[in-house]
């Protein structure tokens, strides 16, 4: 590779205006009065969004492949097309009161990388691909991250097909209806490396004044249902000393959930989000309380410690209060550390481009979680205003949107390599 091309690569930047315009055009499909987007998975609006992104991909010269769960892969060939592709992507389905950027940004940033390389006539050693995954949000169908989960064999295609929405419509029926059941078997599509660009969906980058989050891990999650059983009794005649008040015992355990997250800082999380009180009457001492517990941390070892401390506290509390406490784990997502080389590629790209950056963890799940089971993976975060997401007022600045896409561009180039450069041999 001659010096002129090398210099051109160092100064290569995406077209920020074009990326922003694409985001706004996609956001017009399912636009809500408050400025957000409602484009639920496998609806007619989802089909319109898919069709638009696929049209843009074809216009950029990409070849499209669709698998049986509706994941779409858009391929730009490399000089050595036998190498597995360096892939980027995210999702284009939204929450019912979603924003313009969650998921959509990651897909369109990848498309903008391809458009930029096309504009400058730059060939990569390995092929590049942009993907969008089916039903990441899980708003209409469960489980969440469905397309990437089937792709990574976290659950079967048959299980996903059988999922139904509140109207009884199945994933398989709706995929067929909108025309996105492909022939490729999920998981048989090769991936050499995977990068996902996303708004942070939290306040940390904004609070620290940083433009880029170098994501090195996604927090593991443990979900529990907890039931404390006491005895209902009249609130007036029953003395305090003899009450078997399930709610008062429950509140002590709820406080411990928060306390143990603080003890396992900085990435510990502890949340009680749902509470059911029986009989839920103004003048009756609660006889039974059922509530959710959500624990998160950056490693499975830390989650194990939090789990052990939760159960030990509950055991002691049950003994001291005399009330039975039952804790059942209902879901478990292991912590996901991203590949060191992909993390380094993001960090180096941010530094080379002069963007302020910091290491970050993701407290939310992303398709990268499942793809990381199959290939080296990493993520790039940009700030979102006030850390707000899953909300119609979700917002990001054009400058940050462009910055994240520029980091993606250079991280993908570092991984895919340029002919004759000797760099970026994909794993």
Q: Please list, in sequence order, all residues whose beta carbon lies within 8 angstroms of the beta carbon of residue 355, skipping any fewer than 6 positions away.
A: 211, 212, 403, 406, 407
Q: Residue 314 is encoded by which pair of tokens?
A: 């509950």
pLDDT one-digit tens code per residue, 337-386? 999 999 999 999 999 999 999 999 999 999 999 999 999 999 999 999 99
Mean predicted confidence (pLDDT) in 70-91: 98
Q: Which CATH architecture has domain 220-333?
A: 2-Layer Sandwich (3.30)
Q: Please list, in sequence order, all residues whose beta carbon lies within 8 angstroms of the beta carbon of residue 166, skipping any fewer than 6 positions away.
A: none
Element (H, E) at 380: strand 377-382
Q: CA angle 411-416-420, nearest 5°? A: 120
CA 192 – CA 190 distance, rounded (Å): 7
| Domain ranges across the chain | 3-218+335-416, 220-333
CA 236 – CA 120 distance, rounded (Å): 80
Q: Would the CATH topology of 3-218+335-416 be identical to that of 220-333?
A: no
Between 6 and 389, the more confident residue is 389
**pTM, two decimal places:** 0.90
CATH class label, 3-218+335-416 = alpha beta
Say what the pLDDT of residue 427 is. 42
E-only strand ranges, 123-191 = 128-132
- The residue count of the chain comes to 427
Res. 6 pLDDT band, cuts 50 70 90: low
- DSSP 8-state assignment for residue 78: -
pLDDT one-digit tens code per residue, 62-76? 999 999 999 999 999
CA dihedral 234, 236, 239, 242 (to 10 degrees): 10
């Amino acid at each position: 590779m001659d010096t002129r091309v090398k210099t051109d690569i160092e100064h290569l930047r995406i077209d920020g205006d074009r990326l922003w315009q694409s985001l706004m055009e996609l956001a017009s499909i399912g636009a809500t009065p408050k400025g957000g987007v409602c484009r639920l998975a496998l609806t007619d609006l989802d089909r319109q969004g898919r069709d638009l992104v696929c049209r843009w991909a074809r216009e950029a010269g990409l070849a499209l492949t669709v698998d049986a769960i509706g994941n779409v892969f858009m391929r730009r060939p490399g000089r050595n097309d036998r190498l597995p592709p360096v892939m980027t992507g995210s999702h284009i389905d939204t929450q019912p009161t979603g924003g313009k950027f969650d998921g959509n940004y990651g897909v369109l940033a990848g498309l903008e990388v391809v458009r930029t390389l096309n504009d400058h006539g730059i060939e990569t050693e390995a092929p590049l691909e942009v993907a969008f995954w089916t039903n990441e949000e899980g708003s209409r169908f469960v489980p969440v991250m469905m397309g990437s989960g089937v792709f990574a064999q976290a659950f079967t295609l048959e299980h996903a097909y059988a999922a139904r929405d509140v109207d009884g419509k199945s994933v398989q029926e709706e995929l067929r209806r909108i025309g996105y059941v492909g022939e490729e078997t999920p998981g048989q599509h090769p991936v050499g490396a995977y990068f996902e660009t996303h708004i942070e969906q939290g306040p940390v980058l904004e609070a620290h004044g940083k433009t880029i989050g170098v994501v090195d891990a996604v927090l593991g999650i443990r979900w529990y249902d907890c039931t404390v059983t006491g005895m209902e009794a009249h609130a007036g005649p029953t003395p305090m000393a003899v009450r078997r008040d399930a709610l008062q015992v429950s509140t002590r355990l709820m406080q411990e959930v928060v306390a143990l997250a603080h003890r396992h800082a900085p990435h510990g999380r502890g949340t009680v989000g749902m509470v059911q009180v029986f009989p839920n009457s103004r003048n009756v001492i609660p006889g039974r309380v059922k509530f959710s517990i959500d624990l998160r941390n950056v490693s499975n070892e830390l989650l194990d410690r939090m789990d052990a401390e939760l159960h030990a506290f509950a055991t002691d509390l049950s003994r001291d209060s005399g009330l039975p406490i039952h804790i059942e784990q209902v879901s478990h997502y292991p912590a996901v550390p991203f590949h060191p080389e992909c993390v380094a590629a993001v960090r180096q790209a941010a530094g080379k481009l002069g963007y302020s950056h910091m290491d970050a963890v993701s407290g939310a799940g992303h398709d990268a979680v499942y793809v990381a089971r199959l290939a080296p993976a990493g993520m790039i975060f940009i700030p979102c205003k006030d850390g707000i997401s899953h909300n119609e007022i979700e917002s990001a600045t054009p400058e940050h949107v462009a910055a994240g896409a520029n980091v993606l561009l250079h991280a993908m180039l570092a991984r895919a390599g340029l002919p004759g450069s000797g760099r970026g041999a994909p794993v």
